[in-house]
Chains A and B, each alone.
Chain A
Amino acid sequence: MKVKVISRIEEEYTRETKSEAIKIHRNLDPRLRPMHRATEYKRALNATKLDKVFAKPFCGAFEGHSDGILSLAKNTQNLKQMASGAADGEIRVWDCPSRKALRILNSHSGAIRGLSFDRTGGKLVSCSDDRSIRIWNVPEAELGELGSRETRREERPAMVVAGESAYRDVDCHWGKDMFATAGNCVDLWDMNKDAPVSSFEWGCDTVLSVRFNPAEPEIFASCGSDRSIALYDCRTNTPTRKLIMQNKCTKLCWNPMEAFNFTVANEDCNLYSYDMRKLNVSTCVHKDFVSAVLDVDYSPTGREFVAGSYDKSIRLFDFNSGHSRDCYHTKRMQRVFCVKFSMDGTYVFSGSDDFNVRLWKAHASEKVGTLLPREKRKMQYNEALKDRFKHMPEIRRIANHKHVPKSIHKSAKLRRTMTDAQTRKKERRVAHAAPGAHKKEFKPMRKERIVEELE
């Protein structure tokens, strides 16, 4: 006879003193966890709901400007630093953690349309409606300076370049001491010279935006008032390619991780992503805004971007999704002229017409600060669950719901009826036309807005 019975000695399964860690025993047998799938679904639902509960994206405002903010610049070398330029010609360099201005740079007499830190983070280039470009030495925060009540003003830039026309935008080269400006033409400048190295013209009277490619630094692109997007190479003297769209593009931003992809903010309420190598079709149309999109900026990860619009809202998009992931707005925020993603990809800045620079979290419900390992694991588990059950109707409904102001909600509704009517009409025209007659009319959205491509 051989007998053995389960006999657990309590001392072996429990801790002796309270200072010891609690002993944990695991048995992974799925039979001990019946209805596990349903439980996980419930957890996913709870996680989705909690995301909405904890969605508090607004972190704070940077106050001090006395006119609408028209431009923002982030320092690529210093996570804490950021600069903003207002319509009254004032530039403020901010210390982000304390939300205080380090310096007030007060020398322009026109609205600041473009601001850019150079690749070393030591210089700031500003351009303005007053036909001048000014280069500033970026101040280091001195000990005790942030505590003082008065912010030091500075009125003397390191360099002043007088140009011929009002400048709309400026961007610094990612590899050299160069920068490009957009005005009545695109000019390429050396940091140390007061005349442009070269200038590019392709039949448009005002260039609105210019951006260097961060991964392929010799290439840059511009948007013009003739509804064009143009691509340039620093090594040649002529623009390489040009694309005309139906509406004007306001701003442009390159994907920092995929050198050939860029996104433009368009006045027809949409954003368009393009592959530089294939301009006859956009890779993705990002919808959801109800008024002209005024600025766009990519996260350093290249997986998401932020855009600000004339409809007083900011939206966050995944780089390949047609609709926004989230929408930020406040009662007091006016038209958003400029947005920037922070260099660590966790925050978003916005500058608007109500004299304020605002700081938002890039993920509305994310916990700020360090996470305990257990907390981190839990978050990861929740993320995985949400992803697993994202197509379930209830979860999708909660996850997709965004509260927007009444005005946006109404005009979105109106826009939907209009677009629906247009598509319906198109469909009917195609259905009743002779075979092949109206084929041209029924283009996909990704091609529809493109007028022509020039080389």
Chain B
Amino acid sequence: MTRATLPGVVPVENDDENTKKKNNKKNNKRKMKTKIAAKIIDEELHTLKKKYYASASGRSLKETISSKKDTIISDKKTRGKFERAMELDESAALENARRERYLSMEPSGVLEAETEKGERTWRFQQSEIIAHVDVNAKKKAFDLRLEGSGPYRSVDFSPNGQHLVIGGSGDGGHVANVEWNKHKLLSEIYLDENKDDENMREVGVIPAVKCVKYLHNTEFFAVAQTKYTYIYDKRGLEIHRLDKHRDVFAMDFLPKHFLLTTVGREGIVRWQDTTHGEIVAEHRTKLGKCSVLRRSEYNAVTHLGHSNGTVTLWSPNQGQALVKMLCHRGRVNALALDQSGRYMATTGLDCQIKVWDLRKYQELHAYYAPTEVKAMDISQRGMLAISYGSRVQIWNEALTTKAKSPYLNHQFVNGSKVFDVKFCPYEDVLAVGHSKGVTNILVPGSGEPNYDTFVANPFETKNQRREMEVAKLLDKLPSEMIQLDPNAIGQLRDVPKEVQKERREAALRAEMEAKMKQREKNESKTKMKGKNRASKRYRKKQINVIDDKMMAKLEAKKAREEGYKKRANEQGRAKPGVRAGAASDAPRKPDDAPDALRRFYK
């Protein structure tokens, strides 16, 4: 059975059994070993394979189809096509799984505690972890103390994880673009916006930088400031001022669609295309100011967390929210989405952290935090980082299962406050923006160890970056394609047979009914159309009734006509209405002339 489903595995040869009887026992043993080894490989492949099925649900096309009992394809040609598609699906998944085994050279990071000795991972200090890793990895953990320009409300990694942009709000606003792996500062901007604007000074200390975000590569980043949002290039030069995005509190970038999405004080979510600068859509959430926004990597839908405890899902194609979920009592403080698009973690004023299943929109588990959680992020491999007060906690496998204890803990100096946490893609690093600067801590096992050169390349050269940019632009998806199910594109909508039948019958019934009605109407009607109105009948009758009024009318008419005749005869003028050529010098009409010749006389 296993052989049939896994064509790639070479079956154990049986030929030598007859020829070499002497070493039979030994051979058998060896065979058993190889068989077991092959079986282990089989199982491994089988589990790996699931990831690569076209449906992406971990089920092959075969399984999906066979689970639907009533989909028996009667047409031979279609059935053949389906069978071929199934085989292709199976073989492609297997091939990819096999490739993955050879490609995935790098293992992911690990942190293991010896529980017998009483060690727990969440008790490990950063200093201990740093002491145990190699020199190269040691450099990744650092602490930027920028006390004057804190708090750092927003940090962001570039898509390949090599660049870091940080936004500090104190002292007029500070933005820095750093190649953090090499400890190299690329550009630094002091905004000083508050100093010039008198209104702002009156209001008090308002954070100047609210959000920073990289666009499609390391070249550009967007900064949401007190009033407008700006786009800078990596040298720190202002490229654009986005006037439409006013008072933005949170933003994100959809790299596949090249859309910058923002939300802020007005509670209006906007999508702006960064290739041609047009605002693609703006929708009023009608839920007040909003400072929590995350995009789903799975389907590019924008998730907003509101002050009334709801989380709403938005696409630029619909003026209403796609989904509204009541997640918390009180404000939603932060939310995070995992890479597969299945899980969402939210946290709010009620000090709860909830994990949601985004396929059913149901709560999976809830965790309690001692105080309000301010920031949250989920790593590529599904680790959840949360921060409250001056503490950062990382939870492993807290999404799929209900975790008992955190994975890692990190405490900042008392009095400092954590504002933002972000995992670095393709690295085991978490960046923390707090009131006294930015700190990178090591989180073993959080990042994806194997990158793909054609998806995001940490070691990209200038040419590669340029080529990638062109490739990405060619594959740019139109904003119309943003929807909850990203696999619906290119598929036919399946109308169930019963519904089809029902619809057909309903249409037939309606037609028959209309026909019957018409027939009845036609048969019942015998009289001529429009002649049988009551008022008309009455008026017709009245014509023949001659009363005093009518008599007077008739007499008056007669008199009038006689009067005309008389006058005409006297003056030789024609009766009104008869053209007689009064101005001509034709002879006067003799009395005996017939009436037909009138026109020849005056």
Q: A-side interface residues toward B, CB under 8 Å?
A: 1-10, 13-14, 22, 24-35, 37-43, 46, 388-389, 392
Q: Which of A4, A26, A46 has the most CB of B within 10 A?
A: A4
Cβ contacts under 8 Å, B128 to chain A = 1
Cβ contacts under 8 Å, A38 to chain B = 256, 477, 481, 486, 489-490
Chain B residue at minimum C-beta to C-beta distance from A391 = B492
B103 interface residue (CB < 8 Å to A): yes
A27 and B475 contacting across the interface, CB-CB below 8 Å: no
Partner of B52, one of A27, A30, A34, A388: A30
Contact with A along B431-466 (1 / 0, CB 8 A): 000000000001010011111111111110100100
B108 interface residue (CB < 8 Å to A): yes
A34 and B297 contacting across the interface, CB-CB below 8 Å: yes
Cβ contacts under 8 Å, A34 to chain B = 256, 297-300, 339, 341, 486
A37 and B477 contacting across the interface, CB-CB below 8 Å: no
Cβ contacts under 8 Å, B63 to chain A = none
Cβ contacts under 8 Å, A46 to chain B = 474
Cβ contacts under 8 Å, B136 to chain A = 7-9
Bound-complex Cα distance A40 to B110 (A): 36
Given contacts A32-B456, A41-B489, A43-B474, 18 further A-B contacts (CB under 8 A): A1-B119, A1-B132, A3-B110, A3-B112, A6-B426, A6-B427, A6-B428, A25-B103, A26-B103, A27-B448, A27-B451, A31-B339, A34-B256, A34-B300, A34-B486, A37-B486, A37-B489, A42-B475
A27 and B104 contacting across the interface, CB-CB below 8 Å: yes
A13 and B452 contacting across the interface, CB-CB below 8 Å: no
Cβ contacts under 8 Å, B8 to chain A = none
| A to B CB contacts below 8 Å, 30 in the list | A1-B111, A1-B128, A1-B132, A2-B112, A5-B133, A6-B109, A6-B426, A14-B459, A27-B450, A28-B52, A28-B100, A28-B103, A29-B51, A29-B448, A30-B51, A32-B452, A32-B455, A34-B298, A34-B299, A35-B299, A35-B477, A35-B481, A38-B486, A39-B256, A39-B477, A40-B490, A42-B475, A42-B476, A43-B475, A46-B474
Cβ contacts under 8 Å, A37 to chain B = 486-487, 489-490
B106 interface residue (CB < 8 Å to A): yes
Cβ contacts under 8 Å, B110 to chain A = 2-4
A25 and B452 contacting across the interface, CB-CB below 8 Å: yes
B185 interface residue (CB < 8 Å to A): no
B96 interface residue (CB < 8 Å to A): yes
Bound-complex Cα distance A40 to B54 (A): 13
- Given A28-B100, A38-B486, A33 contacting B459 (CB threshold 8 A): no
B99 interface residue (CB < 8 Å to A): yes
Bound-complex Cα distance A389 to B489 (A): 10
Distance in Å from the Cβ of B64 to the closest Cβ of chain A? 15
B256 and A26 contacting across the interface, CB-CB below 8 Å: no
- Given A10-B459, A24-B453, A31 contacting B340 (CB threshold 8 A): yes
Chain B residues within 8 Å of chain A by Cβ, number: 65
Cβ contacts under 8 Å, A33 to chain B = 455
Distance in Å from the Cβ of A325 to the closest Cβ of chain B? 21
A5 and B444 contacting across the interface, CB-CB below 8 Å: yes
Partner of A5, one of B113, B137, B426: B137
Cβ contacts under 8 Å, B52 to chain A = 28, 30
Please provide the 3 A-B residue pairs with the shortest distance between their CB atoms, ordered closest to farther: A7-B137, A2-B112, A27-B450
- Given A22-B464, A35-B486, A389-B490, A5 contacting B481 (CB threshold 8 A): no
Cβ contacts under 8 Å, A392 to chain B = 490
A3 and B490 contacting across the interface, CB-CB below 8 Å: no
Cβ contacts under 8 Å, B461 to chain A = 14, 22
Cβ contacts under 8 Å, B450 to chain A = 25, 27, 29
Bound-complex Cα distance A8 to B134 (A): 11
Bound-complex Cα distance A33 to B51 (A): 12
Contact with A along B274-308 (1 / 0, CB 8 A): 00000000000000000000000111100000000
B134 and A7 contacting across the interface, CB-CB below 8 Å: yes
Bound-complex Cα distance A40 to B477 (A): 10
Partner of A1, one of B114, B299, B447: B114
Q: Which of B52, B298, B454 has the most CB of A within 10 A?
A: B454
Chain A residue at minimum C-beta to C-beta distance from B340 = A31
Cβ contacts under 8 Å, B449 to chain A = 6
Bound-complex Cα distance A29 to B387 (A): 30
A32 and B453 contacting across the interface, CB-CB below 8 Å: no
B56 interface residue (CB < 8 Å to A): yes
Cβ contacts under 8 Å, A8 to chain B = 106, 136, 458-459
A5 and B109 contacting across the interface, CB-CB below 8 Å: yes
Chain A residue at minimum C-beta to C-beta distance from B256 = A35
Bound-complex Cα distance A22 to B453 (A): 10
Bound-complex Cα distance A201 to B140 (A): 94
Distance in Å from the Cβ of A46 to the closest Cβ of chain B? 6
Contact with A along B93-137 (1 / 0, CB 8 A): 000100110011011111111100001000010001100111011
Bound-complex Cα distance A38 to B489 (A): 6
Q: Which of B99, B458, B489 has the most CB of A within 10 A?
A: B489
Bound-complex Cα distance A353 to B581 (A): 75
A5 and B474 contacting across the interface, CB-CB below 8 Å: no
Bound-complex Cα distance A38 to B111 (A): 38
Distance in Å from the Cβ of B304 to the closest Cβ of chain A? 20
Distance in Å from the Cβ of A180 to the closest Cβ of chain B? 39
Cβ contacts under 8 Å, B341 to chain A = 34
Bound-complex Cα distance A29 to B459 (A): 20
A4 and B444 contacting across the interface, CB-CB below 8 Å: yes
Bound-complex Cα distance A4 to B461 (A): 28
B428 and A27 contacting across the interface, CB-CB below 8 Å: no
Bound-complex Cα distance A254 to B23 (A): 64
B476 and A13 contacting across the interface, CB-CB below 8 Å: no
A27 and B299 contacting across the interface, CB-CB below 8 Å: no
Cβ contacts under 8 Å, B455 to chain A = 27, 32-33
Cβ contacts under 8 Å, B451 to chain A = 25, 27
Cβ contacts under 8 Å, A27 to chain B = 100, 103-104, 448, 450-452, 455
Distance in Å from the Cβ of B116 to the closest Cβ of chain A? 12
Bound-complex Cα distance A14 to B461 (A): 9
Bound-complex Cα distance A33 to B106 (A): 20
Chain B residue at minimum C-beta to C-beta distance from A39 = B475
B112 and A1 contacting across the interface, CB-CB below 8 Å: yes
Bound-complex Cα distance A6 to B452 (A): 15
Bound-complex Cα distance A10 to B162 (A): 12
Distance in Å from the Cβ of A86 to the closest Cβ of chain B? 48
Bound-complex Cα distance A392 to B492 (A): 9
Contact with A along B468-483 (1 / 0, CB 8 A): 0000001111100100
A13 and B459 contacting across the interface, CB-CB below 8 Å: yes
Bound-complex Cα distance A13 to B133 (A): 20
Chain A residue at minimum C-beta to C-beta distance from B95 = A28
Cβ contacts under 8 Å, B100 to chain A = 27-29
Distance in Å from the Cβ of A133 to the closest Cβ of chain B? 48
Chain B residue at minimum C-beta to C-beta distance from A10 = B459
Distance in Å from the Cβ of B171 to the closest Cβ of chain A? 34
A41 and B475 contacting across the interface, CB-CB below 8 Å: no
Cβ contacts under 8 Å, B129 to chain A = 3, 5
Cβ contacts under 8 Å, B456 to chain A = 32
Cβ contacts under 8 Å, A24 to chain B = 453
Distance in Å from the Cβ of B118 to the closest Cβ of chain A? 12
Cβ contacts under 8 Å, B299 to chain A = 34-35
Cβ contacts under 8 Å, A10 to chain B = 459
Bound-complex Cα distance A10 to B136 (A): 10
Chain A residue at minimum C-beta to C-beta distance from B56 = A30
Distance in Å from the Cβ of B371 to the closest Cβ of chain A? 30
Chain B residue at minimum C-beta to C-beta distance from A40 = B490
- Given A28-B103, A38-B481, A6 contacting B134 (CB threshold 8 A): no
A3 and B111 contacting across the interface, CB-CB below 8 Å: yes
Bound-complex Cα distance A9 to B139 (A): 12
Bound-complex Cα distance A49 to B140 (A): 47
Distance in Å from the Cβ of A294 to the closest Cβ of chain B? 35
Cβ contacts under 8 Å, A4 to chain B = 107, 109-111, 133, 444
Distance in Å from the Cβ of B597 to the closest Cβ of chain A? 61
- Given A6-B447, A7-B136, A26-B452, A41 contacting B113 (CB threshold 8 A): no
